[in-house]
Amino acid sequence: MKSNKFIKSVSLIIILSISLSGCFNYRDINKVVFATAALFDVNEKGNIVIYLDCITPYRSKNESSEKGKRELFKGEGSSVLEAAQKINMASSYEVNLSQCRSYIFTDNAARRGIKNYVDVMNRSQQYIVRPYLLVYKGQVQDLFSKAYGEEENIGFYIDDIVTKTKNNPSAIGTTINEYISKSTMNYKDIVVGELGVKSDLNKSRLELNGAAVFRDDTMVAEMNPDDIANYKYLNGVSSTGVIKVKNPMDENKTISLQIISSKAVTNLKYIDGKFELNKDIWIKCNVGEVQGTFNSLAEMSDKLKLEAETYLNKQVYDTFEKYKLKGVDIFEIDKLVKEKYKYEKFPKDPIMMTQLKCKINIELVGTGIIEATY
What is the residue-level pLDDT of the chain in tens, covering all 374 positions? 545 554 545 454 444 444 444 454 544 556 788 888 999 999 999 999 999 998 877 655 555 445 567 888 999 999 999 998 888 887 767 888 888 889 999 999 999 999 999 988 888 777 887 899 999 988 888 888 765 555 567 888 888 888 877 777 788 889 999 999 999 888 899 999 999 887 777 777 788 889 999 999 999 999 999 999 999 888 877 777 888 888 888 888 999 998 888 889 999 999 888 999 999 999 999 888 888 887 777 778 888 899 999 999 999 999 999 999 999 999 999 999 988 888 788 878 899 999 999 999 999 886 654 455 54
Is the same domain home to 155 and 187? yes
Assign residue 294 the CATH number of its domain.
3.30.300.210
Shared-domain flag, residues 272 and 373: yes
Q: Are residues 282 and 202 in the same domain?
A: no
Final residue belonging to a domain, choices 171, 203, 223: 223
Does a structural domain hold residue 366? yes
Q: What domain count does the chain have? A: 2
Classify residue 14: in a domain, yes or no: no
Instruction: Give the Cβ contact number of residue 81 at 10 Å.
Output: 15
The last residue of a domain, from among 223, 252, 286: 223
Burial of 40 (0-12, 13-18, 19+ CB in 10 A): buried
**Domain boundary, last residue among 223, 247, 277:** 223
Mean pLDDT of the chain: 83
Check whether residue 178 and residue 246 sit in a common domain: no
Residue 176 domain-assigned (yes or no): yes
Examine the domain organization and report whether 143 and 244 are in the same domain.
no
Q: Are residues 138 and 258 in the same domain?
A: no
The C-alpha atoms of residue 261 and residue 275 are separated, in whole angstroms, by: 28
Q: Quote the domain boundaries for residue 135.
A: 25-223
Q: How far is CA 293 from CA 126, 160, 243, 297, 362, in A?
A: 60, 40, 18, 12, 21
First-residue to last-residue Cα distance in the chain? 91
- Same structural domain, 260 and 366: yes
Is the CA virtual torsion 150, 153, 154, 158 positive or negative? Answer: negative
Domain shared by 320 and 363, yes or no: yes
Is there a single domain that holds both residue 182 and residue 208? yes
HSE-CB at 206 with a 13 A cutoff on CA atoms is 31
192 with 262, same domain: the answer is: no
- Asked if residue 9 belongs to a domain, the reply is no
pTM to 2 decimal places = 0.82
In a domain, 206, yes or no: yes
Nearest to 219 by CA among 143, 140, 322, 114: 114
Facing residues of 49 across strands?
Answer: 41, 76
**Do residues 211 and 251 both lie within one domain?**
no
How far is it, in rounded angstroms, from Cα 26 to Cα 207? Answer: 36
Residue 4 placed within a domain: no
Instruction: Please name every residue paired with 267 in a beta bridge, in sequence order, or none if there are none.
Output: 278
Does 258 lie in the same domain as 216?
no
Determine, yes or no, domain membership for 19.
no
In a domain? residue 228 = no
